[in-house]
A and B are shown apart, each in its own frame.
Chain A
Amino acid sequence: MSERPIRVLIAKPGLDGHDRGAKVVARALRDAGMEVIYAGLRQTPEMVVAAAVQEDVDVIGLSIHSGAHNYILGRVVELLKEQAVEDIVLVVGGIIPDRDVERLRGLGIDAIFPPGTTTTEIIDFIRERTGNLAA
């Protein structure tokens, strides 16, 4: 009995163009057997959520280095609620200052991966959180 692969949307919301990490993670997730939809740069919160719904993903991974995380993540969470897809696992990487982490976690973000997180840690987290340890 095979599980369907975990579907992950990777996106960079806002104007930030530092996509090295997002691409490395996207590739690692794909190598680990997940289906990765790489939306790329300059995604608005609206575009992210629309893509997530359209692609029927299990996980949204956002990468933000620009300092715009408070506005962007607040808006993404709001839109996920509006679309009634709060069960999508939402993980974030990039540069999120410590003083914002607690509040953002409180909004319902499942994980905030700091710099230095390994791809293995991310893969394990996603598998465990989606309850899909076979994928």
Chain B
Amino acid sequence: MAEERVLAKPTAGEPEPVEASENGKTRWQKETYEPARRQRAERDTPFITASGRPVRELYTQEDLAERNLAYDADIGYPGEPPYTRGVHPTGYRGKLWTMRQFAGFGTATDSNKRYKKLLASGQTGLSVAFHHPTLVGRDSDDPISRGEVGKQGVAVDSLADMETLFDAIPQDQVTTSMTINHPAVVLLAMYVAAAENKGIDRRRLAGTIQNDVLKEFIAQKTFVFPPRPTMRIMGDIIEWCTAELPRWNWVSVSGYHIREAGSTAVQELAFTLRDGMEYIQVGLERGLDVDTFAPRLSFFFNAHNDLFEEVAKYRAARKLWARYMRDRYGAKSPRSCWMRFHTQTAGCTLLDRQPRNNVMRVTVQALAAVMGGTQSLHTNALDETIALPTEENAIIALRTQQVIAYESGVANTVDPLGGSYYVEALTADLEREAEEIFAKIDELGGMVEAIDNGYPQREIQEAAFQYQKEIESRERIIVGQNEFVEETGAPVDYLYIDDSVEEQQLDLLDELRRRRDTDAVERAVEGVRRAAAGDDNLMPVVLQAVHAYATVGEICGAMREVFGEYQEQPIF
């Protein structure tokens, strides 16, 4: 019984119809609430979540009964099924979430400096943002990279850049997440090679590659290859990581970008978990025992504006994942059922006007992530809308997490909002509605087929349009955008990446191409092409190529020759 999205505008003096049975809430509505509303109408605004979900004036035990919620079966205890309240029994009392700020810009030297600064300021894990060319498997000197070098992230063309990026950073002591998808084999190989060149045993490496190939087609759009070849690559990565990197998360199945593209909370939840299920399927099709690889699947969610809806979303995700892993995929190990996730506060909610207000937005969003039990968190800087962060603004973003961790009290107990009538009702509703979306995708034949069909893309597009309409009609008030718009305060200084970065990187690349063993590179790249065309696992040959200082563009180019290049059919 999904509630219709209604603009509830009762006129003062007209009572709402009451239910037949006289439960406590009904009585309260008749005797106390309605008379109060007749005295003074509620504010003229739809009481909806950030996703447009109508919110009732009050939630009580009756809302839980309406949803047939039972404590043990539906809410339970942290560290035990259903895992609604958390995957670790001690929560943040055991270990605070990792403060993992996404960073990268300019050359590897520039970013290495920023990483050291962030680590010295109390950040507890690294997260690499690569520039656009790397994200789409191209070198900095590719014609298509003109103007893009070092702008949106750090330029990494070869192992040489990766070595510079991690210069004097102990890869065996720091965990590193890398946001890279279709080219993930290459960058993972570079990270491993850089560590091995320092004498570090690869089995000690801990970190994550995003590697969520499917969401590239519906949200992030840094795609390279078509869907089916990316699933082959995924299979190779699962096999290789399971065998070689016991501490490495081979995927960060992402809802963040889906939400940024405009989806609702339920869509973010459902499409993400469903993508995760597709990857579990890939591993099973390779003949692997689910409990050998499922524990190293991780997730990445958005923390949007509506705190309660977000907390409910994370709780529903834990509950759903555990149940599906056990029931649909036969997982026996508890670790296969733990929905572990990283969160990033919602970039799409931040404004370039009155940018200091963004600190408040990020604080609320970060609170949601923490009260939802995230394992790791990135908080956006106040200048996120316009630029990559200045050092000062990056530190403020980090301090936001530290203030929450040490001063707010939310880390003192596990799942502090558990038992809230509102949050438990929302959790149950999100769970049920996500399953309706799972059913639709099952009907379509799975997520790859759903993407071919355009189903998630249309849903996201529709939700994005709806949200914009709400802002333009002022149903949805955004401070500084359609209300409270007077500009105050001095203008904020932004980080500006100028084109000299491109020159620097091109010089480095040029020099690399001259000093390396060209024959070895050609042979190694040919090895990649052969593996791609055949059945051999890509990782060993990519590692070889990477050690020979073959570039991202050369290795991905060989793969593109075999797999083809994805052409998007635009849906709007």
Contacts and interface: CB of A to CB of B under 8 A. Distances in A.
B406 interface: no
A-side interface size class: 35 or more
A68 B148 contact: yes
A27 B465 contact: yes
Main secondary structure of the interface of B (DSSP, over half): loop
Contacts of A20: 260-262, 348, 464
Interface in A66-116: 66-72, 95, 97, 99, 114-116
B124 interface: no
B90 interface: no
A72 B145 CA distance: 11
B568 A40 contact: yes
Contacts of A67: 147-148, 151-152, 497
A68 B151 contact: yes
B570 interface: yes
Nearest to B142: A15
B220 interface: yes
Interface in B340-364: 348, 351-353
A17 interface: yes
Contacts of A127: none
A69 B499 CA distance: 11
B461 interface: yes
B386 interface: yes
A135 interface: no
B305 to A, nearest CB: 16
A97 B387 CA distance: 8
A38 interface: yes
Main secondary structure of the interface of A (DSSP, over half): mixed
B472 A118 contact: yes
A83 to B, nearest CB: 20
A66 B385 contact: no
A49 to B, nearest CB: 16
Interface centre among B152, B261, B471 (most CB of A within 10 A): B152
Contact of B132 (A16, A36, A97, A116): A16
A97 B136 CA distance: 24
Contacts of B222: 15, 17
Contact of B148 (A14, A24, A120): A14
B221 interface: yes
Given A68-B148, A70-B499, A19 B351 contact: no
B490 interface: no
Contacts of A69: 147
A56 to B, nearest CB: 20
B197 interface: no
A93 to B, nearest CB: 12
Interface string B516-534: 0000000000000000000
Contacts of B144: 14-15, 42, 44
Contacts of B223: 17
A62 interface: no
B32 interface: no
Interface in B464-492: 464-465, 468, 471-472, 481
Interface string A17-28: 111100110111
A24 B468 contact: yes
A24 B146 CA distance: 27
A41 B464 contact: no
B221 A41 contact: yes
A105 to B, nearest CB: 18
Contacts of B138: 15
Contacts of B152: 16, 66-67
B572 interface: yes
Nearest to A19: B221
B133 interface: yes
A104 B330 CA distance: 58
B352 A40 contact: no
Contact of A116 (B147, B352, B496, B497): B352
Given A97-B494, A115-B352, A15 B468 contact: no
B464 A23 contact: yes
A25 to B, nearest CB: 9
Interface centre among B145, B151, B496 (most CB of A within 10 A): B151
Contacts of A38: 570, 572
Given A14-B148, A23-B464, A72-B147, A115 B132 contact: no
B1 to A, nearest CB: 30
Interface of B: 132-133, 135-136, 138, 144-148, 151-152, 220-223, 260-262, 348, 351-353, 385-387, 461, 464-465, 468, 471-472, 481, 494, 496-497, 499, 568, 570, 572
Given A41-B221, A42-B568, 17 more contacts: A14-B144, A15-B144, A19-B221, A20-B262, A20-B348, A23-B464, A23-B572, A24-B464, A40-B568, A66-B148, A66-B151, A68-B147, A68-B151, A95-B387, A97-B496, A115-B351, A116-B352
Interface of A: 14-20, 23-24, 26-28, 36, 38-42, 44, 66-72, 95, 97, 99, 114-116, 118-120
21 contacts: A14-B147, A15-B136, A15-B138, A17-B221, A17-B222, A20-B348, A24-B262, A24-B464, A38-B572, A39-B570, A41-B221, A41-B570, A42-B568, A66-B152, A67-B147, A67-B148, A67-B152, A95-B387, A97-B496, A116-B481, A120-B472
